[in-house]
Amino acid sequence: MDLYNGRLLVVDLTTGKVEINTLKEDFFEENVGGILGNIHLFEEYEEMDPLIIGTGPFTGTLFPGSCGGVISARSPLTGNLSHSPVTWFFTPEMKLAGFDHVVIGGAAEDPSFLWIRNENAVIREFPEDIIESWEITDYLRHELGDDRVQILTTGTYGFDGGLNAQIIENYWNSFERYGFGGLMAGKNLRAIAVRGLGDILLANPEKYMKGCLKVLNQTKNSPYYPEAFEKLVHSYSADPGIEEIKHRVDGCFNCPIPCRVFVKYNEPANELSSTDIEEPGMLLTDFEAFAILRKKGLNGEKAARVMEILSRKGIDPGVITSTKTNAFEGLLKEIEEISGIKEHVEGDIFLISRNNIANQIVAYTFGFCPVLSHMAEIVDYELFSQLIMDGADIEVNMVEVEGRINKITP
């Protein structure tokens, strides 16, 4: 299919069975993709207690911020069907590997990982003693012989039974707030690795490109550019405090407003050449948690070091930042000892701002970054309908889609 792959990967970890099923055109006409497709598939495969990863029609294309995907599962924290964004590069690779949605159910008998590559997938065994997220990523990239393999994993905290274990994107904190890392660990699934070398075909490439350029021009008016990470932290009434440790800005797949910052605190921030220092610093991704750490009294470097420990251990920063204490002296040691913390989770979807909810849910549906949706006014149902027609020659009832999206909004 144009714009879509038309493939669904269904994995049963209990039996070791891997199936590749066809998603027909009417599936996309009715669900578009993304979060709506995930909800449809959850109802179909609910008995497997599935974790579902979905892409949208724009994921992996030249649409601005097209890193967007969504994970849907029943949260171990809330008991509800919940949804979290996948950003960075994982879902574009998944789509280039040939799959629009992946359903993972059951539980493996032994520690395992799922390897998805070029329209194929296999469940493989994983060493039991490698349980830190950074070590898992390093191990898999070495074993698979490719540093561009994209990985979803969790860390020590999840494998120790922590309730608020977070899914980690390669090495870095995600925006996942619902204990899905613990769900992965409970399935004995150490990681999901993906690499895609395929193409995304378009019915009318020239018209599709014109539509993407129109959206790109709209992003240029965003008040968050430049220094998007700092401005997002400021939006939480906090001072970033990273001037002395800021090394470079970074962005997810095809994003025009990079909102991630790599900071160096183990070597000078202005060091450009390779050194003998193994880990020079940390990529700051979760601006919300970082802002709260700063408001609780940590300087920029200390807050960044805390975020590194959280990402290594696979702990949702929201757990740490929402604890009712100001006793942050010795916090790094305390993090090592944390287990079983259960905090109230507001709603069923990660939201950057309660003031711009609908646009973020649209991003979950169509396959672009919800952070970009918050930073730039790019939601245009009429244009999106035309882009799907130009990309896939599929006509979508946007009135019905908008109605379903509004029902999801908490």
Per-residue pLDDT of the chain (410 residues; tens, 9 = 90+): 899 999 999 999 999 999 999 999 999 999 999 999 999 999 999 999 999 999 999 999 999 999 999 999 999 988 999 999 999 999 999 999 999 999 999 999 999 999 999 999 999 999 999 999 999 999 999 999 999 999 999 999 888 888 889 999 999 999 998 999 999 999 999 999 999 999 999 999 999 999 999 999 999 999 998 999 999 999 999 999 999 999 999 999 999 999 999 999 999 999 988 888 999 999 999 999 999 889 888 899 999 999 999 999 999 887 776 655 444 556 667 666 654 555 555 566 777 766 678 888 999 999 999 999 999 989 999 999 999 999 999 999 999 999 999 888 66
| Angstrom distance (rounded) from CA 248 to CA 232 | 16
What pLDDT, on the 0 to 100 scale, is given for residue 104?
98
List the structure tokens of 111: 């520690």
pTM of the model: 0.95
Contact 178, 82 (CB under 8 A): yes
**For the chain, how many residues are written?**
410
What pLDDT, on the 0 to 100 scale, is given for residue 367?
98
DSSP 199: -
What domains are defined for the chain? 7-201+348-408 (3.60.9.10), 228-337 (no CATH)
CA distances for 120 relative to 9, 108, 111, 193, angstroms: 9, 19, 20, 12
Residue pLDDT, tens place only, 53-75: 999 999 999 999 999 999 999 99
What pLDDT, on the 0 to 100 scale, is given for residue 344?
55
CA angle 201, 147, 350 (to 5 degrees): 70
Cis peptide before 226, with omega less than 30 degrees from 0?
yes
Beta strand 260-264 with 7-12: parallel, antiparallel or unpaired?
Answer: unpaired
